[in-house]
Amino acid sequence: MNLLLDIGNTNVKWAWHDGSLHGFGELEHQDADLGNVVDAIIDSDHDADGIWIASVADDEFTKELGEALADEFDIEPYYVEVEPEAFDVNIAYEYPERLGVDRWLAMIATRTVSDGPVLVADAGTALTVDGLLDDGTHVGGLICPGIHLMQDAVFEDTAEVADHAADDADGIELFADDTGAAVVSGSTFAAVALIEYAADELERISGELPEVYLTGGAAAAIAPLMGLEVHVLRELVLRGLALLVETEAE
């Protein structure tokens, strides 16, 4: 059985794979004790025959976590890197290694469920948006602050607004009647607008309405506000990682 880890900027997510994915877990790793993170991951009846790690987090944390898991299961982890042409996805970047491995894994995962143009939006600490044509050509992508980073920027850099906590916001609406709610709604609708604009542009490029896949912690908040049909799959990166495992086993 393989242990799969998606280490993001804020959270580490994991799942176990033995032909299917199960045993999903998630924990914020920023400022967390490494031992607590390891305990959370190994707190199960599973024994790892392989450890697969996809990380966009700090190199030091990634290495420390990988070494701790290697000690626990007596097996060296495999650190996944972006492949420019693999799994029916051709990366647009001149330097593919500069593309976040999480974005690549999310894209290859969508190729198993869609044969048309696809827009993949990961609404995590950062908001990333990537477009794929029906032949798997990656047209490129966008990166901007995630909705919580947008909110933090307003609260930290605007003295008056900082007195009004986002926690006081009561729902999300386009025209809010409270400062905290206005910040929360503004950041959320900014993400919605960017994704919708990107979907329109991908339709113009491809000549076909793309399927839109949302993943990441804020996906559930964004999806109901979208003016087009979307698919929410929070485990999209781990699904892509599972494809690598399955291909290796063939």
Q: Which residues contact 140 (CB under 8 A, 6 or more apart)?
A: 92, 93, 130, 131
What is the model's pLDDT at position 164?
57
Q: Is residue 217 part of a domain?
A: yes
Q: Are residues 74 and 121 in the same domain?
A: no
Are 127 and 235 contained in the same domain? yes
Chain mean position to CA 56: 10
Catalytic residue among 102, 135, 163, 168: 102
Query: What's residue 231's pLDDT?
Result: 94
In a domain, 184, yes or no: yes
Q: Are residues 119 and 195 in the same domain?
A: yes
The CATH number for 51's domain is 3.30.420.40
Alpha carbons 59 and 166: distance in angstroms, whole number? 32
Residue 89: inside a domain = no
Per the annotation, the verdict on 59 as an active-site residue is: no
Question: Residue 90 falls within a domain, yes or no?
Answer: no
Mean pLDDT by 10 residues, the chain (250 residues): 93 92 89 89 83 93 95 95 93 94 96 93 95 96 94 78 58 78 90 97 96 93 93 91 85
Q: Which amino acid is at 200?
A: D
Count of structural domains, the chain: 2
Residue from 207, 196, 185, 191 nearest 230 by CA? 196
Round to whole Å and give the CA distance between 24 and 243. Answer: 16
Has residue 41 been placed in a domain? yes
